[in-house]
């Protein structure tokens, strides 16, 4: 099953951290894997592939048009570029020199996230300048409006993520404010593809999703929105977007992953995730110094994570010690980064199998009591 790990001598990983790039993000379904494998054997007219993908993505998402880029970081840079250049080839080739274009992008301070790079850098890479509204804790409509009406503003960038901080202007109100001032809006909703319809309903001019996160396509970014503007994002491949293009396998993988999502019974999926999470919690709670509970996704995605507290009296290890021991185990078990790392462990388990969840419980027992839990067969981890 993990022949590639053996072939290359790579360590084995159980990713309980979520759709996290440094751990390989997600697991693709067989139809996606099969389509990608086929695409790698063939040539395509890439212009036709982009055109067809645009139509299919529109049909599958309800957006007017869709374009595939290398990833959401690329989509951020190229969407900002599109707002600055329009369809003008001379402008597209001039970037990152923006001297003939409006080039200021407004962001609220609490949206200045770092997803592995600071989002401002993905914007600045296009040549644009970021102007910030409000403080880290707070941004009012008045503060946002006063920055939106500065000279040379070409767009508002919003972020919809659990990484955002503070009390910012809500997306609907921010979009209404920008549109009332004639300013287009981009929304970075990279990890929100499970609630894509809700994001699209907000009415941003461009909505950005990573296709490799919950959608589980090969690494690629979906840019959804008005056809003219989305196509202008694609035109950036004749400029700074050359190094951010999606290959044939990514475009085909993203389209097939969206088709699979369209066929998915969302209720049944959520039910299965809830059942698995419930069983994991019950298994964990059989370990005496451990209390596990379900934590619903704060962004309204249809799944819960599992939070684990250790009982300080009967457990002689701290939470960070247990986290480090899990990460050092074979297979390495990587938990989620969350707000109170010092007092609890958080597991995101959607893509994990029951066998992998048993390995987690078993490893936790070994770390906490130096032995596997009573009544639980120690799975042969070597064979997993």
Site residues, ligand PLP (CB under 6 A): 21, 71-73, 113, 115, 159, 161, 163, 188, 190-191, 210, 221
Report d(CA 371, CA 207) in Å as an integer: 49
What's the DSSP call for residue 210?
E
- Of 161 and 181, nearer to ligand PLP (C-beta) is 161
Cβ 113 to ligand PLP shortest distance, Å: 6
Distances from the Cα of 349 to the Cαs of 46, 90, 338, in angstroms? 37, 48, 15
- Of 63 and 292, nearer to ligand PLP (C-beta) is 63
- Of 178 and 191, nearer to ligand PLP (C-beta) is 191
What's the DSSP call for residue 110?
G
| Residue 192, token pair as written in the block | 């929100």
Q: Are 125 and 70 in contact (CB under 8 A)?
A: no
Cite the DSSP H helix spans in 97-169.
Answer: 119-124, 141-148
- Of 188 and 205, nearer to ligand PLP (C-beta) is 188
Cβ 377 to ligand PLP shortest distance, Å: 37
Cβ 378 to ligand PLP shortest distance, Å: 36
Cβ 232 to ligand PLP shortest distance, Å: 20
DSSP string for residues in 32-53: HHHHHHHHHT----HHHHHHHH
Cite the DSSP H helix spans in 86-194.
Answer: 89-94, 119-124, 141-148, 171-180
Cβ 355 to ligand PLP shortest distance, Å: 28
- Of 98 and 210, nearer to ligand PLP (C-beta) is 210
Cβ 73 to ligand PLP shortest distance, Å: 3
φ, ψ (nearest 5 deg) of residue 136: -55, -30
Number of C-beta neighbours around residue 274 at 10 A: 14
- Of 9 and 116, nearer to ligand PLP (C-beta) is 116
């Amino acid at each position: 099953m993990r022949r590639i790990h053996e072939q290359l001598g790579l360590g084995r990983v159980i990713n309980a951290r979520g759709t996290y790039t440094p751990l390989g993000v997600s697991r693709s379904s067989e139809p996606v894997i099969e389509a990608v494998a086929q695409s790698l054997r063939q040539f395509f007219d890439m212009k036709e592939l982009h055109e067809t993908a645009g139509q299919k993505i529109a049909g599958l998402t309800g957006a007017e048009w869709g374009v595939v880029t290398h990833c959401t970081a690329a989509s951020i840079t190229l969407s900002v570029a599109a707002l600055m250049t329009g369809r003008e080839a001379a402008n597209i080739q001039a970037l990152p020199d923006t001297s003939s274009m409006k080039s200021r992008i407004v962001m609220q301070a609490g949206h200045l996230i770092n997803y592995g790079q600071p989002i401002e850098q993905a914007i600045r890479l296009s040549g644009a300048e970021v102007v910030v509204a409000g403080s880290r804790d707070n941004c009012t409509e008045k503060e946002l409006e006063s920055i939106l009406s500065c000279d040379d503003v070409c767009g508002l960038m919003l972020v919809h993520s659990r990484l955002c901080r503070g009390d910012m202007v809500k997306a609907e109100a921010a979009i209404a404010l920008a549109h009332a001032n004639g300013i287009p809006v981009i929304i970075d909703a990279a990890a929100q593809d499970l609630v894509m319809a809700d994001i699209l309903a907000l009415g941003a001019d461009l909505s950005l999703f990573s296709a490799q996160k919950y959608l589980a396509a090969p690494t690629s970014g979906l840019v959804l929105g008005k056809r003219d503007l989305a196509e202008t994002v694609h035109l950036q491949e004749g400029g700074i977007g050359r190094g951010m293009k999606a290959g044939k396998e990514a475009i085909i993988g993203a389209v097939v992953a969206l088709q699979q999502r369209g066929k998915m019974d969302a209720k049944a999926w959520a039910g299965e995730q809830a059942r698995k999470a419930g069983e994991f919690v019950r298994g964990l709670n059989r370990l005496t110094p451990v209390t596990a509970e379900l934590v619903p996704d704060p962004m309204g995605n249809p799944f819960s994570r599992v939070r684990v507290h250790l009982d300080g009296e009967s457990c002689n290890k701290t939470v960070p010690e247990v986290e480090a021991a899990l990460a050092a185990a074979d297979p390495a078990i990587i938990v989620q980064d969350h707000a109170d790392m010092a007092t609890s462990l958080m597991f995101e388990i959607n893509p994990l199998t029951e066998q992998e969840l048993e390995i987690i419980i078993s490893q936790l027992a070994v770390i906490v009591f130096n032995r596997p839990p009573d009544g639980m067969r120690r799975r042969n981890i070597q064979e997993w």
